[in-house]
Amino acid sequence: MLEELVRTIADMEEELALQVVREFVSGGGDPQQVLDACREAMDLVGKRFEDGEYFLPELMLAGDLLEQISAIVKPLLVGGPQASANTAGTVLIGTVHGDLHDIGKNIVVFMLEVNGYNVIDLGIDVPVEDFVDKVRELKPPVLALSGFLTLAFDSMKETIDALSDAGLRDSLKIMIGGGQVDEAVRSYTNADAFGLNAMDAVSLCRQWLAA
């Protein structure tokens, strides 16, 4: 059944995927295995996107499907072993001001959560001051800035500069991602790293937050 779930998610068969999830958990299946299957399916989706088989509409559909599956599965994890195991580290994330895109960010949030990270999502069009205030309040080890539009590059730089001015930059690692983000943008914004997809974000967190 889990193999069928991976296939239906990767093939964008929304109704079938949701049916498989409901049948699996109602039959007593481990909800964590559903999240593991989602992670495997998103690896396939990411590869198909990189290979030019999938495009932005497919990523949007995948993001929406993950949200629906999360709504079914996550309540079953509350208070369970997975809830207490979420100690891999905290990641603060948000789409920078001037940008309203959240598809990629939501997929990153999902993938980080299923890998055991405590993710605090500030949403979209987040003002510089909100990032600074939250970093000061929560002192997260990792900050992830998302932006799809090219104007987001300036917003990312403004945010990181403001964190430096506030004396908060040295205490955290910053990753950026979305749209046309590359090494040149990373250098311009003074971020520590950039990611091309959600698994890059997971890999960076593993490097930075390894015990």
Is 92 or 56 the better-scoring residue by pLDDT? 92
pLDDT above 90: residue 76: no
Q: What CATH number is attached to the domain comprising 76?
A: 1.10.1240.10
Could you tell me if 78 and 110 lie in one domain?
no
Could you tell me if 92 and 77 lie in one domain?
no
Could you tell me if 177 and 101 lie in one domain?
yes
Domain range enclosing 130? 87-208
pLDDT above 80: residue 82: no
Nearest to 40 by CA among 22, 19, 17, 57: 17
Using CA atoms of 195, 197, 202, 208 in order, give the dihedral in degrees to the nearest 10.
0
| Rounded-to-integer distance, Cα 138 and Cα 118, Å | 12
Q: Are strands 193-195 and 118-121 parallel, antiparallel or unpaired?
A: unpaired
Is 136 or 63 the better-scoring residue by pLDDT? 136
Residue found by looking up tokens 């309203």 in the block: 100
User: What total number of domains does the chain contain?
Assistant: 2
Please identify, among 84, 101, 118, the residue that sits at the C-terminal boundary of a domain: 84
Could you tell me if 139 and 167 lie in one domain?
yes
**87 band by pLDDT with thresholds 50, 70 and 90:** low
φ, ψ of residue 165 in degrees (nearest 5)? -60, -30
- What tokens appear for 118 in the block? 């405590």
Nearest to 180 by CA among 210, 154, 150: 150
Could you tell me if 31 and 48 lie in one domain?
yes
Q: Tell me if 112 sits within 8 A of 90, measured CB to CB.
A: no
Picking from 38-52, 66-80, 165-179, which range would have the lowest pLDDT averaged per residue?
66-80
Nearest to 41 by CA among 23, 22, 71, 18: 18
Q: What CATH number is attached to the domain comprising 115?
A: 3.40.50.280
pLDDT one-digit tens code per residue, 31-66? 888 988 988 898 888 889 889 999 888 888 888 898
Please identify, among 26, 50, 84, the residue that sits at the C-terminal boundary of a domain: 84
Could you tell me if 107 and 175 lie in one domain?
yes
Could you tell me if 74 and 51 lie in one domain?
yes
Q: Tell me if 160 sits within 8 A of 185, measured CB to CB.
A: no
For residue 90, the model assigns a pLDDT of 95
Q: What is the pTM of this model?
A: 0.77
Please identify, among 50, 65, 84, the residue that sits at the C-terminal boundary of a domain: 84
Could you tell me if 153 and 196 lie in one domain?
yes
Residue found by looking up tokens 């979209």 in the block: 124
Could you tell me if 127 and 99 lie in one domain?
yes
Could you tell me if 185 and 201 lie in one domain?
yes
